[in-house]
Structures are given as C-alpha cells and as structure tokens.
C-alpha cells in the first residue's frame, strides 16, 4: 500500500504538468503564421465576458458505478496518457519493451503495442500524446527530448513530420494539431503561461503568442498556472482549465473572443514554482478529455495528501464535470474510483485507469442527455 501511495503522489504532482518547458519562452521565433484560423462557417458565437457560477449550475450530481474490465495485458499504471479517436484508444503506459498500446473500442481489445523505449532512431524516452482532427492521422506523438513529432496513421504505421519543435517545448506538452503543419499549444512564459499558435512553412517553424493565461498579480510564475489544454478546429475553440484555480477559459481560434468561467473559492497561496506544486495545495482540474460534442474534466477539489489518505482505505473517487465547447456546464458525475480517464462519446463510455485494481481499466456507462 505504501508503494501505491508513492505512485499516487507522483501521478498527482505530475498531472497537468504538461506545457512545463525546461525554461520559459524567451522569444517568439521569426516568421508570420498563416492567417487561416477563422473557419468559413464558424460555429455559434462565443458569449464573451466573465461568468461567476455556483456548483448548482450542474444540477444534481450523478453517481456512477464502474465495472472493472479484464484485459490480457499486465501493466502497472504510472503517469499514463489516453486519447480516443473514432473507435480507437491509444494509451501511453509502458509495457515492456514498448511505451504505447492501441485498443479497439468499446471492447478494449488490444490491436498492438509499439514505441520501443530508448534513444535510438524511432525510439522514445519522454513522449507525449498530441490530439488531431485530421482524418488520415490518428494521433501525434511529441518526443520532447528530441523535439521530434511522430504520427500514427490508419494502417498503424509511424511516420515523422519534417520539422522539429524548439527546445523550450521539451517535456510533456499538451497541444493540438489543426493540420500537419499548424498546431496550438500552451507553454510557460516569464512569470506566467500563454497559448501559442505555431506554423511550419518555408523550412522553419514560426510561433506566435495568441493569449496570455496569467491573470493574478500575486502569482508570477508558470507553476501557478499549470493546467490542461484542448482545442477544436471544428468548434473554433481553444480551452484552458487551471489546476490550482477553479477557472476555465474558452476562446475562438483567433483568440479575439474570450469567455471566462469562474467558480467560488480561493486560489493557492503565492509562492515560487516549487512551492506552487506542493501536495498541500488543492487540485481543481486535474485531467481533460475532449470529445467532439463536449469537454469532460476530472475535478478533485481536495489536496493530493487528502486523496492519498482516501486511497489507503478505498478506491477513492473523482468528479467529472461536463461542459459544452461554449463554456456552459452540462452535468457533473461522481465516479467510484480515482484515476486518469478518457471519454468515448460514440459509445457513451468513460474509461478510467485505477491504481487500486488488479484490472486497471474501469468502464462507466454515461447516461444520455
């Protein structure tokens, strides 16, 4: 049980650690991004402004009971990442000698494992999954130690894009590809964090800051603004949710329309980067799963230390908050396990990886709206 607590602590501290660069972004690379962020037929306009909401906005909390799903593969849940696209789930969670597993949904049947760990050609040491809406690319993989970007196609073949990302994005970086040469991402800047747009053209990558996520004069470092990032070209949206504040930001892709959603509650104590990531701080939004119709956010509302105490005697629990892409609360669920998750909207399933079960996959049926 002590080993479980140690693993839990590492996962909690590392969750939403994405976008943490080796050093803050010091300059914007030369080049002018393509001016094609506005869609021909944009979705419904975003209602701008700052909206202060109460928990009652979700209505009654829906209690969900999960079923443990047995799979043949034996692996220990570590700092996993999961993404769903079409009827496939990709899981980053090392199973010797590979780092990725690809499952068919909804039956969770393993199709293949791939991605050998190592520093050789085509091998991975510190990869991160990157989402995309492209039909001919299933998923992207960002290898932060090399700045390389790989992709998995429908034939389960791994390819590599012809450009590297700069060193300041090394590490886990949540991003979203608009196509094979344009992406949006969140990264640290001096005294804060921001959303960037990047474009590969003419043999180089140009980066442009489109929105600053820092908002508090008391919190002047990127550690205070850790969180989770999502984007949708189809919905014309950028979304960022904060780990240490119950605050969400919804923007259009051009970032000239902004909706901020805030819930009542105090933020963390001011401090440096190290103290900000203390397990004594309340974790609000922990992980995010972006569906085509809705966003699903795991919400803790307590400190990692409190969660560790709960896990010693039970499977724990986590809340899932459901929003539409315009920032409107839809529903709130309470799951009877704690862990990372992803949502399969097509089959109305939620898949969670639990560190307390011998069969780590816990499957939930999402009630229809």
Q: What is the pLDDT of residues 285-342, one digit of tens each?
A: 999 999 999 999 999 999 999 999 999 999 999 999 999 999 999 999 999 999 999 9
Residue-wise pLDDT tens digits, 5-19: 444 444 444 555 444
Instruction: Give the pLDDT band (50/70/90) at residue 241.
Output: very high
Residue 234: how many CB atoms within 10 A of its CB?
Answer: 10
Beta-bridge mates of residue 153: none
What is the assigned CATH class of domain 2-365? Answer: mainly beta
Q: pLDDT tier at 347 (50, 70, 90 boundaries)?
A: very high
Q: How far is CA 66 from CA 118, 329, 345, in A?
A: 36, 23, 16
- Cis status, amide bond into 168, omega within 30 of 0: no
**90 strand-pairing partners:** 83, 102
Percent of the chain with pLDDT over 90: 56
- Per DSSP, the three-state class of 223 is helix
Residue labelled with tokens 């470092």: 221
3-state secondary structure of 56: helix
Condensed to tens digits (0 to 9), the pLDDT of residues 159-181 reads: 999 988 776 665 556 889 998 89
Please give the average per-residue pLDDT across 208-220, as a whole number.
94
Question: Do residues 89 and 69 touch, judged by C-beta distance below 8 A?
Answer: no
Cβ burial of 121 (10 Å; 0-12, 13-18, 19+) is exposed
Burial 52-66, CB ≥16 within 10 A → b, else e? ebeeeebeeeeebeb
Tallying the residues shown for the chain, one arrives at 369
Check: pTM over 0.75? Answer yes or no: yes
Structure tokens at 176: 């979203």
Q: Where are the alpha helices (DSSP H) in the chain?
A: 2-14, 273-276, 304-313
The pLDDT value given to residue 71: 86
pLDDT tens-digit readout, 199-211: 999 888 899 999 9
Residues 6+ apart with CB under 8 A from 190: 24, 25, 26
What the block records as the tokens of 156 is: 């389960």
Please provide the DSSP assignment of 81-111 as one string: EEEEETTEEEEEEEETTEEEEEEETTTTEEE
């Amino acid at each position: 049980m002590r080993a479980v607590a140690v693993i839990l602590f590492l996962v909690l501290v590392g969750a939403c650690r994405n976008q943490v660069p080796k050093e803050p972004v010091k300059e914007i690379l030369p080049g002018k991004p393509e001016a094609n962020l506005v869609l021909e037929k944009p979705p419904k306009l975003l209602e701008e402004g700052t909206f202060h909401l109460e928990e009652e906005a979700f209505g009654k909390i829906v209690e969900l009971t999960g079923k443990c799903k047995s799979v043949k593969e034996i692996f220990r849940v570590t700092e996993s990442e999961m993404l769903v696209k079409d009827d496939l789930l990709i899981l980053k969670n090392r199973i010797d000698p590979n780092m990725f597993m690809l499952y068919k949904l909804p039956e969770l049947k393993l199709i293949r494992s791939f991605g050998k760990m190592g520093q050789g050609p085509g091998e991975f040491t510190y990869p991160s999954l990157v989402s995309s809406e492209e039909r001919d690319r299933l998923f992207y993989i960002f290898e932060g130690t090399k700045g390389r970007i790989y992709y998995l196609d429908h034939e389960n073949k791994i390819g590599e894009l012809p450009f590297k990302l700069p060193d300041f994005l090394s590490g886990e970086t949540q991003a979203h590809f608009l196509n094979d040469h344009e992406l949006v991402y969140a990264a640290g800047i001096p005294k804060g964090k921001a959303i960037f747009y990047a474009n590969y053209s003419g043999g180089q990558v140009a980066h442009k800051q489109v929105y600053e996520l820092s908002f508090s004069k008391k919190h002047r470092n990127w550690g205070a603004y850790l969180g989770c990032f999502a984007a949708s070209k189809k919905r014309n949206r950028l979304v960022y949710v904060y780990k240490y504040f119950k605050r969400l930001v919804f923007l259009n892709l051009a970032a000239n329309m902004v909706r901020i959603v805030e819930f009542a509650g105090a933020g963390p104590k001011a401090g440096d980067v190290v103290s900000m990531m203390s397990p004594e701080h309340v974790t609000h939004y922990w992980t995010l799963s972006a569906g085509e119709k809705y966003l699903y956010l795991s919400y803790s509302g307590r400190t990692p230390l409190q969660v560790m105490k709960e896990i010693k005697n039970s499977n724990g629990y986590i809340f899932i908050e459901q929003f539409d892409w315009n920032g409107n609360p839809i529903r709130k669920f309470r799951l009877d396990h704690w862990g990372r998750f992803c949502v399969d909207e097509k089959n109305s399933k939620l898949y969670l990886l639990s560190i307390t079960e011998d069969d780590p996959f816990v499957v939930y049926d999402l009630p229809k709206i």
